[in-house]
Amino acid sequence: MTTVLITGINGFTGCYLAEELRSAGYSLVGLSSTETIQNASSVNYVCNLLDHEKLIDILTEVKPDVVVHLAAVAFVAHGDVEAIYHTNVVGTRNLLDAIIKSQHIPRSVLLASSANIYGNALIEPIDEKASAAPANDYAVSKLSMEYMARLWLDRLPITVVRPFNYTGAGQSLNFLIPKIVDHFKRRAPILELGNLDVVRDFSDVRSVTQCYRLLIESRTQGEVFNVCSGQGHSLLDVLQMMREISGHHPEIKVNPAFVRANEVHRLVGSSAKLDAVIGKVPVIPLKNTLQWMFSHRL
């Protein structure tokens, strides 16, 4: 069996990717910064990405055929800027160096960046040739990670993915869509939001993880791929869908504390390059994803 090491396996994306790969017959090894419960279908290690020596020990022991690097500070408004850069840049560098020092080169190393690196792009849909214009520390950290990873391209089969916004059942309420769905679930009378005029390319996490699996199997290297639906939805669209799903009509208020001065107003991607490599993965309509999230019980 092909062994895949997933960093951040306990995270939102990691859980869904583990299920996607497990269903496809892969053997899984998880890396997490918090305690995990070992089970029959995966072996889990607790290790902070900043612990370079422990990373080397784990990679030397596991000798994975594939590494998928998801672990990151992934919340744009995360308050600890130092943690964003340490985890997303230094932590990734530690991982790549540990792979080399383990003296076992995987056949694929997939690094998760972010479409946030594009900022307020002047073209739409945004393809991989668009100029980077990061508008927050999270985006800068992801772009810095990409540049750092280029130093390893002659030694490791690295593929970088730039996922646009995606969501699904189980995502933290820190994120916008789960927050909105939660308010409708609770039938809260008032919903306070920030910028209402933003447009995003929302995907379903299950589609995103399917794309990751197919990229692993395509054995690409040295390439960057957008992962997106190619469809833009405004926040007002999302609110209307939730009204239709729930039958609830809360009062919508703009809270100035939630308005970001450097907000990226439109972020809609092109998946043409990815489609040419893995084929067209069917897009799950956003309303279907919202219905799944609304009906989901923990």
| Residues assigned a catalytic role | 138
Sign of the Cα pseudo-torsion (245, 247, 248, 252, in order)? positive
Q: How far apart are CA 1 and CA 91, in angstroms?
A: 28
Residue 35 near residue 42, CB atoms below 8 Å: no
Interatomic CA distance for residues 238 and 233, integer angstroms: 7
Cα angle 145, 148, 153; round to 5: 115
Tell me how far apart the alpha carbons of residues 219 and 96 are, in angstroms, rounded to a whole number.
Answer: 18
Q: How many CB atoms lie within 10 A of CB 240?
A: 13
DSSP 212-262: HHHHHHHT--SEEEEE--S-EEEHHHHHHHHHHHH---PEEEE-GGG--TT
**Is there a contact between 200 and 226 (Cβ–Cβ < 8 Å)?**
no
How many other CB atoms are found less than 10 A from the CB of residue 95?
24
Nearest one of 156, 214, 96 to 88, comparing CA atoms: 96
Question: Do residues 156 and 100 make contact, with C-beta atoms less than 8 angstroms apart?
Answer: yes
Neighbouring C-beta atoms of residue 85, cutoff 10 Å: 18
Nearest alpha-carbon partner for 250 in 170, 158, 160, 185:
185
